[in-house]
Amino acid sequence: MTEGHLPVMAEEVISMLAPAPGSLQIDATLGGGGHAERILEASDPDGRLLGLDADGAAIARVRARLGPRFGERLSLRQANFRQLADVGPAAGFGAVDGCLFDLGLSSFQLADADRGFGIRTGGPLDMRFDAGRGVPAAELLASLDAAELTALFRKYGEEPFAGRIARAIVEARRVAPIRTAEELAALIERVAPGRAPGRRRVHPATRVFQALRIAVNEELEALESGLAAALDLLRPGGRLVVLSYHSLEDRIVKRFFQAERRGCTCPPEVPVCVCGRAPRLRLVVGKGLVPGAAEITANPRARSARLRAAERLAA
């Protein structure tokens, strides 16, 4: 068991990936290493795994915990999965049997008081997975005008009170910059209505925090690049498994799977296919899997997860 971190839908992930001895697998979002550990156990004695994470702290933690046990079977690289097309082959994973994307934040990131990912953990509003790349969230809050903030919260957070929250941020920063997660969360709590009675209790700042994190890390663009790269690296019969946690991510995954399952991109009015694109994926599960009640009780962070899986067809 990974200390402090429960991998989401671990049994289903292993069932869908079906890692076998001697296989090559990629965990494109290493996080706490819980899925990586199970993949290596399932592919014992000689399956190998490449673990990627943009967060150097995650790489160091997993190396210390799993390195002594799995040795050369485990390769680790600090990289965003948008770099998968280059990082995979360079690490000896140019043709693989499985690739996993778990798009959630790890418990370690949420608990890190220096990063500002968690609403309740506080800390400076940074939110970058890789502290050496991109613009911190506090900088976005300080530099975007009300219309730009409104658009960001709507697009990436699907926040119904985006305009009201954006105007409050602009008003507040005239007095003092918003520098910490607690300051932002408290401001949103003051101006955004609470949940309707009987609805699941979610902090009113949740969608804004999601929106900022997605924008800071360019997550949706990275996901599209990462999925395309993973598909190119998969051998025929290889599996692509994705865990997403909100509708924006899931929509990208679903559309990607649908497009690669269909293949042909010719418009409907063209009587015969002229693009020559053959289907490259078949779905392993139709509508995606969600966690059971027992898992949600044991690990509430799993509640919004959806797992989709597809298999690479012969080129």
Which domain CATH number covers 168?
1.10.150.170
Q: Is residue 63 part of a domain?
A: yes
Pairing of strands 96-102, 48-53: unpaired
How far apart, in Å, are the Cα atoms of 4 and each of 7, 98, 119, 221?
10, 26, 18, 30
Both 264 and 276 in one domain: the answer is: yes
Classify the C-alpha dihedral 214-216-217-223 as positive or negative: positive
The predicted model gives 285-291 an average pLDDT of 92
Q: Which amino acid is at 189?
A: E
> pLDDT-based confidence at 55, cuts 50/70/90?
confident
Q: Looking at residues 203-212, what average pLDDT do you find?
A: 90
Tokens read off for 55: 């967060």
| 301: helix, strand or coil | helix
* Higher per-residue pLDDT: 306 or 277: 306
Q: What is the pTM of this model?
A: 0.87
- pLDDT band of 199, cuts 50, 70, 90: very low
Residue 5 lies in a domain: no
Reported residue count of the chain is 315
| Contacts with 180 (C-beta within 8 Å, 6 or more apart), sequence order | 116, 122, 123, 124, 125
Helix (H, G, I), strand (E, B) or coil at 44: coil
Domain boundary among 217, 239, 267: 217
Decide if pLDDT at 107 tops 60: no
Give how many domains the chain has, as a whole number: 2
3 within some domain: no
290-312 mean pLDDT: 94
> Which candidate, 26, 27, 19, places its Cα nearest to that of 93?
26
Compute the average pLDDT of residues 30-49.
96
Which of these ranges, 14-23, 25-34, 118-127, has the smallest mean pLDDT?
118-127
- Across the range 72-96, mean pLDDT stands at 97
Asked whether residue 4 is assigned to any structural domain, the reply reads no
pLDDT mean across residues, the chain: 89
Residues 119 and 211 in one domain: yes
- For 14, the domain range is 10-108+219-312
What's the CA gap between 60 and 56, in Å, rounded? 6
Q: Mark which of 217, 237, 268 sits at the end of a domain.
A: 217
- Sign of the torsion angle spanned by Cα atoms 230, 236, 241, 246: positive
263 domain-assigned: yes
Return the pLDDT at 5: 65
Amino acid found at 160? P
Same domain, yes or no: 168 and 210: yes
> Any residues with CB less than 8 A from the CB of 35 and at least 6 apart, and which?
7, 10, 13, 27, 100, 102
**pLDDT value for 270:** 85
Same domain, yes or no: 175 and 223:
no
Mean pLDDT of 50-67: 94
Residue 2 pLDDT > 50:
no
Residue 105 pLDDT grade (very low, low, confident, very high; cuts 50, 70, 90): low
Average pLDDT over residues 49-71: 95
- Is there a single domain that holds both residue 134 and residue 149? yes
Output the six-digit token pair for 149.
């903030």
Q: Among 217, 236, 256, which residue terminates a domain?
A: 217
Residue 273 has pLDDT above 90, yes or no: no
Mean pLDDT across the stretch 12-22? 97
Running DSSP on this structure, what letter comes out for residue 179?
-
Contact 234, 240 (CB under 8 A): yes
Percent of the chain scoring above 70 in pLDDT:
90
> What CATH code is carried by the domain that includes residue 305?
3.40.50.150
3-state DSSP helix/strand/coil % of the chain, to nearest 5: 45, 15, 40
Answer yes or no: do 277 and 154 share one domain: no
Over residues 188-213, mean pLDDT: 79
In the chain, the largest separation of any two C-alpha atoms, in whole Å, equals 64
Task: Report the first-to-last Cα separation within the chain, whole angstroms.
Answer: 38
Cα(170)–Cα(145) distance, rounded to whole angstroms? 7
